[in-house]
């Protein structure tokens, strides 16, 4: 089955710890994205990558980091510098950066 897999579905971390969210796709898509969703709000872009070994900051990149060493993988690290990390994180991919995006099931991160 082709798709986007995010893991874990729920993640709890203590304040001050870095945490890495996984995103894997087997759709052979070039472009991948990370969005953040807060209650009652739309989606805000954190980082995106058009091709392997290249990525750009989105609208709210501060306190986050990414890597794109393989086409199918785009992990997101939430660092201790992110002031308010508790949120629902969504990974997406698209064939190119000009086509519609397909989303994973999301990871709900809670920092206590």
Partner 1 sequence: GDSVTQMEGPVTLSEEAFLTINCTYTATGYPSLFWYVQYPGEGLQLLLKATKADDKGSNKGFEATYRKETTSFHLEKGSVQVSDSAVYFCALRVQGAQKLVFGQGTRLTINP
Is 7 among the residues that bind partner 1 (CB under 8 A)? no
Quote the CA–CA distance of 61 and 52 in Å, as a whole number: 19
Is 41 among the residues that bind partner 1 (CB under 8 A)? yes
Q: Of 50-69, which residues contact partner 1 (CB under 8 A)?
A: 50, 56, 58
Whole-Å CA distances, 65 to 75, 106, 110: 9, 17, 18
Smallest distance from the beta carbon of 112 to partner 1, in angstroms?
Answer: 20
Single out the residue of 43, 60, 61, 95 in contact with partner 1 (rule: CB under 8 A). Answer: 43
Quote the CA–CA distance of 110 and 2 in Å, as a whole number: 29
Is 101 among the residues that bind partner 1 (CB under 8 A)? yes
């Amino acid at each position: 089955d082709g798709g986007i897999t995010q893991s874990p579905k729920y993640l709890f971390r203590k304040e001050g710890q870095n945490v890495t969210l996984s995103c894997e796709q087997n759709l052979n898509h070039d472009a991948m994205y990370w969005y953040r969703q807060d209650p009652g709000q739309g989606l805000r872009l954190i980082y995106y990558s058009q091709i392997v070994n290249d990525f750009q900051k989105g609208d709210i990149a501060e306190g986050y980091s990414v890597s794109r060493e393989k086409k199918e993988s785009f992990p997101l690290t939430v660092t201790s510098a992110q002031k308010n990390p508790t949120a629902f994180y969504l990974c997406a991919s698209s064939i190119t950066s000009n086509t519609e995006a397909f989303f994973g099931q999301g990871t709900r991160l809670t920092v206590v």
